[in-house]
Structure 1
């Protein structure tokens, strides 16, 4: 402790020596000379009493007993100091006292006489000198405590500064007069003004009517409140949490943390939604019609124009929209999916456009952002757009034209930066003619039209999709299925698939659940696929006969493989197998060849 404040100890030793006209020495609790005057100044950082605290000499006793000592005749005192006894030093007398700090003895202050005059002065004034040295010891301990407190405060302040600057949120603090006292780098960037101009500025000059001033008056903070400010042309849309700063029960300031609303929306999306991180390679198919659509989609993904995807239900319109988003410059932003046909009409407006606090019975006090706000910086996918009611089509048209959203029950507008991809399985042109869909909205949405072909129009993709879904559900259900029988493959290719890819996937999931053997047969296929548009009765009989033959053939193959595993593949083993099966050896070889079973 004393070594850290050696300059203060030296100042104290010189002050004592100047006042009493006697040499002064200060050692720490390791017997190291920390400060001194006269001869001791030259010995600073050297050891006293050989550094042996428990040897029984003077300074060691002071450190151990925590008491002051007076040695009137040092040369005759065998327990004074070995250097005096050995004639190395000429000390005649000494008065010393411990230095107390935080309940411990951290060192010793000694007054030393080197001549007879100093010795007599020390002897005659030992009590007032002792009092003086004890006061100087307290002063030194006090200075050390003060410097330690300052150092700890500086350390704490630097730690606090580092913590404040490392926080990803903006931090701003005001005093009891509403004047900004602290601001971090993040807040500086969000407000778009430098710290120098912000510190010392009243908060209401940058945030007009901020609730932080109400916290000063009421002493009640608030959590995650949406706040909108404008400073010149700069619009600030934040989520703010503010808390009072108290001292002795009095509110002396407020500290607030805040983030951009757009960042909070993006975070909320990432935490609560499945991120559709799909790419075009995941849309399976090699047919010409599908390949053409994918090439067109890849080309337009780089732009910002609105896209309308048409096609029957289950063709993969949502997958195409997600792939376009993932391949666009907005891929780091959110992809918000809205099924306009699945949300009740009474809730659709507030879901799409959001609402202000207290806009209607049951509304959240702080309000709620709509899907368009959540999609800011990314893409919004409006599925089943043909089901959007006419009165909401007007509001959607306004959003597309102005790039602004006005919440239900609010007169404030929120700027948004979005790309709109919509999809429908309806004929919007016919709906326009029947006055069921606004013509101006149709043209706004249909800037780039893309049409997903039905599965029956790309039959060559069916086997590829069958293999993909079989592998998927085989792994999901841990089922040792190997393949489809030829009859099932033919059934699937011939079936018209009114539900398209979605129906195909459901049929395979059903079959994997129902099948108990290694091959999916027609008995495990949904009845509608077996019966609808299926073969004529005579052909059904042929199919059944063929299926029986296939099953018998597979059963025979399994028996042969099992016999080879049990008996081996030597000539003698094959004779044993032939005898067990009741066939000749030549017949056994022929059967092995027919089933392409290796027997060597």
Structure 2
């Protein structure tokens, strides 16, 4: 639907032409009752609202926008439904002919011929029929102009959008005519062809892509998708992934559109689209206990270098999170981060997954072959999780890659050079596996250039309070809940439990609680049964324990309550020590004794 405001100059010209032709004041308003054009007193009111802008009102213009029929008001001063000014006695108009402006069956405005003198009133009523016909033609003229302007704006917008898309897509874009001469290129084509636009447009495609298959598309009309093509001219050599589509003419193609991308960038894009790699930093690792703070500091320092890192720790401690934080805090953060779970991929497929394969390398291999994870990680980091599950024969090849930074695809004989940082992780005891001849000693020492051991959750018990609140906030948002916290019993139970599944198990417990809770706090009923058993067992035994043990239990409850109130930061602990009248050394000793630090 057209807009009168967009053609305001034309609207004003029509208003003046109408008034000049019939000798009566003219007013034109849009579908929001804003005066867009007018003569004399109306011209002075451009931009103001008629009828106070009340579209749902019962006055003349409001009714017309709803009903859409031409109306003649012969005596405005006696018509209480004429205009708001009539009801307050300020009406100057004597009579009016008004007609709707319709575009695509929608009312986009109103033209009004208004008489302010007796002579104008008599003229308007005397020539009523001819004036109605004239003003309706003027309304049609404005509607056509509005639609024409809208179509022009739409075409211009689409044109701008297409040009913006062509300039922002990652591929280089070329368009060639029926004889193979380039008539368009985008900025990425300039970058990939290593020259400027003025040197590209007007040249034959063969100058940059000798014997390009795109020339055959001009003959056959049959395009192709994602062909690997290599070119060399007098100045440069190129390795592209190319797609070509014909621009159809009446009898034969009148041109071809060619999109192309550097093959290395294409491989990275494939990974990013398929793996949805996410960025993490050390700020995403929750906890301020001494043990986790120390390992975060070490990892942050390690991130600056390029050496291989071996991360060890129990399952669920966050080894992958640390590996991502190291990558995204390193000089390689703009490169890819590739993850491979060596324990989740069948042994028969792991080699081709890591190093790729050439076409025909084995039965069932893809026709074009496959790029391996190490190639995808070029310029970035590869994370080898569960490295302890890698079979011995692949450990030899991995050692070779770590030492020489090169390898060959399965079924291939071409050496591929890579620039990759390796971070490995395991929850197994690799030194014990070496004694059992299940892991190569030389690979172990090559991987553990920089060893990092992630502490278990029971070694950083004071972080439980921070982690449970973090996960509560996360799952409140995810499940659209508004749970405010945990009951004291649940907090005590969380602090007393040893969390064999570590942070992952704590997160699952909080997620379970959020799902099962309909109140403002997570109560014991919303604790996973395997954890709740600990509370029941402790409660049943409490009556038979010694006085000393009961005193210790009561003392531990006090520390838990204070940690809940004050937090586990250095300042929080200082306040706890002051309130309890003990030294900081005694506080730290007690927290360690009760496994709260």
| TM-score normalised by length of structure 2 | 0.55
Number of the residue aligned with 2:317: 315
What is the deviation of 1:451? 0.9
Q: 1:375 aligns with which of 374, 377, 387?
A: 377
What is the deviation of 1:365? 2.6
Residues 469 and 377 (structure 1), Cα distance of their counterparts in 2 relative to 1, 3 Å cut: same
Unmatched 5+ stretches in structure 1: 1-159, 547-600
The separation in 1 between residues aligned to 2:492 and 2:259, in whole angstroms, is 64
2:401 is the counterpart of 1:396: no
8 Å contact kept, 2:218–2:252: no
Number of the residue aligned with 1:283: 285
The separation in 2 between residues aligned to 1:199 and 1:514, in whole angstroms, is 65
What is the deviation of 1:332? 2.3
Number of the residue aligned with 2:540: 537
Number of the residue aligned with 1:504: 506
Q: Secondary structure at the match of 1:469?
A: helix
8 Å contact kept, 2:311–2:454: yes
8 Å contact kept, 2:219–2:252: no
8 Å contact kept, 1:173–1:253: yes
Number of the residue aligned with 2:84: none
| TM-score normalised by length of structure 1 | 0.55
Q: 2:388 aligns with which of 370, 377, 386?
A: 386
The separation in 2 between residues aligned to 1:348 and 1:233, in whole angstroms, is 41
The separation in 1 between residues aligned to 2:249 and 2:527, in whole angstroms, is 76
Residues 179 and 500 (structure 1), Cα distance of their counterparts in 2 relative to 1, 3 Å cut: same
Number of the residue aligned with 1:74: none
8 Å contact kept, 2:175–2:185: yes
Number of the residue aligned with 2:467: 465
Q: Tell me the matched-pair count.
A: 391
The separation in 1 between residues aligned to 2:216 and 2:188, in whole angstroms, is 24
Query: Which structure 2 residues correspond to residues 291-440 of structure 1 after superposition, within 5 A?
Result: 291-440=293-442
Residues 535 and 192 (structure 1), Cα distance of their counterparts in 2 relative to 1, 3 Å cut: same
What is the deviation of 1:168? 5.0
Residue by residue, what CA displacement relative to the aligned partner does 1:421-447 show, whole Å, maximum 9, x if unpaired?
211111122223333222333233222
8 Å contact kept, 1:223–1:242: yes
Residue by residue, what CA displacement relative to the aligned partner does 1:311-338 show, whole Å, maximum 9, x if unpaired?
1000011111111122122222222222
8 Å contact kept, 1:286–1:461: yes
2:192 is the counterpart of 1:190: yes
What is the deviation of 1:351? 2.2
Residues 249 and 517 (structure 1), Cα distance of their counterparts in 2 relative to 1, 3 Å cut: closer
Number of the residue aligned with 1:456: 458
What is the deviation of 1:165? 7.7
Q: Secondary structure at the match of 1:450?
A: strand
8 Å contact kept, 1:373–1:405: no
Number of the residue aligned with 1:528: 530
Residues 463 and 345 (structure 1), Cα distance of their counterparts in 2 relative to 1, 3 Å cut: same
Residue by residue, what CA displacement relative to the aligned partner does 1:181-213 show, whole Å, maximum 9, x if unpaired?
987764454344788999999988976886557
Unmatched 5+ stretches in structure 2: 1-161, 554-597
Q: Secondary structure at the match of 2:437?
A: coil
What is the deviation of 1:180? 8.8
The separation in 1 between residues aligned to 2:244 and 2:252, in whole angstroms, is 16
8 Å contact kept, 1:229–1:235: yes
What is the deviation of 1:276? 2.0
What is the deviation of 1:457? 0.8
- Structure with the greater alpha carbon radius of gyration: 1
The separation in 1 between residues aligned to 2:507 and 2:169, in whole angstroms, is 47
